[in-house]
Structure 1
Amino acid sequence: MTGPLDDDELMALLGEAVAEEAAVSDRRRTAARAALTWRSVDAELAELLHDSALDAGAAVRSGSDEGGEPRTLSFGHSGLTLEVEVEGETLLGQVIAAGEAASVTEPASVMLERPDAHALSAEADASGFFRLEGVHPGTVRFVVEQGGWSLTTPWVML
């Protein structure tokens, strides 16, 4: 095919690709279906506000070297800000609510997801602080939920 595809042509091609059994694991097939159904990604995905690895002029987003400074990241979306600091296998973080989200009194839950491993989770204290242990380098994203408010970060490399 040449030129841009309309929605029906694209869905037909995607349907054919999903139907093929060769070399596509069930895990990848499930992830692809989930990504295809997430139609409001731009409206729901948090913005990366700060990444200390990028400030340092790093060409690749990665964790700090042993003995180096901790890596800090900050994400924001719809009244919630997530700030994290990663040093070794320990992640310290804080969920900060602003505006209408600040009126929520229940603690935030934070989940660190990986595409190929079990998620780690923690509940923030009354001030929004939380800690995760056993955080290994690799691709991750965070999902924060607090009283009807949520924040999902883009995938980043730790």
Structure 2
Amino acid sequence: MSEHENLSDDQLLALLGRALADGAAVPQHRRDDARAAFTWRAVDAELAALLHDSALDAGAAVRSSDADAAGPRTLSFEQAGLTLELEHDLASGELLGEVVGEPGAVVRLERTDAEPVAVRADVSGFFRVEGVAMGPLRVVVERDDRVLTTPWVTL
């Protein structure tokens, strides 16, 4: 039998009042951390879908020469009506992209080892970023109230 089963209504309300008062003692930074962690509950549903990755094409894993391996890698993503096409030249580090049908979108490359780089797509939706080294990256595209965020990929 629990010690709380024989409490009167007044005792139970007093106990409940103390429990609620203790909740106010939680530091604000802990509350902020808890709210931030809660936003991650559906993160997979918020990421863009990978439509195409040339590294996954049949035969890509069994290339026969270094010249073939230095060819460009292409990726396509879609989310919330936005489509993102990317082509990365492994030799030069140049990343070409198109935000299909969305001129002027802001495109941000996020790396684990460098500061984010932001560019604006031109009137045709095209953009270019030089010096994109191999390694993990994700791309965030923002246009008006729509956002496309790719999952992390390794170039």
With the shorter chain as reference, the TM-score category is 0.5 to 0.7
How far apart are residue 36 of structure 1 and its match?
A: 6.0
For 1:145, the aligned partner's letter is E
3-state DSSP of counterpart to 1:39: helix
> 2:88, 2:58 → 1: CA distance?
15
**What residue is the counterpart of 1:89 in the other structure?**
93
Q: By percentage of residues, which structure has more strand?
A: 1
**What residue is the counterpart of 1:55 in the other structure?**
57
Any gaps of 5 or more consecutive residues in structure 1?
1-29, 60-64
**What residue is the counterpart of 2:26 in the other structure?**
none
Number of matched pairs: 116
Any gaps of 5 or more consecutive residues in structure 2?
1-32
132, 145, 152: which one aligns with 1:148: 145
> 1:35, 1:47 → 2: CA distance?
23
- Of residues 125-134 and 48-57 in structure 1, the stretch that sits farther from structure 2 once superposed is 48-57
> 1:54, 1:75 → 2: CA distance?
14
Alignment of 1:9-158 (within 5 A): 37-58=39-60, 68-87=70-89, 88-97=92-101, 107-158=104-155
How far apart are residue 52 of structure 1 and its match?
A: 0.3
Question: What value does the CA root-mean-square deviation take over the aligned residues?
Answer: 2.5
- What percent of counterpart residues are identical? 61
After TM superposition, where is structure 1 displaced by more than 6 Å over at least 4 residues in a row?
A: none
Q: By percentage of residues, which structure has more helix?
A: 2
TM-score normalised by length of structure 1: 0.65
TM-score normalised by length of structure 2: 0.66
Larger radius of gyration: 2
How far apart are residue 78 of structure 1 and its match?
A: 0.8
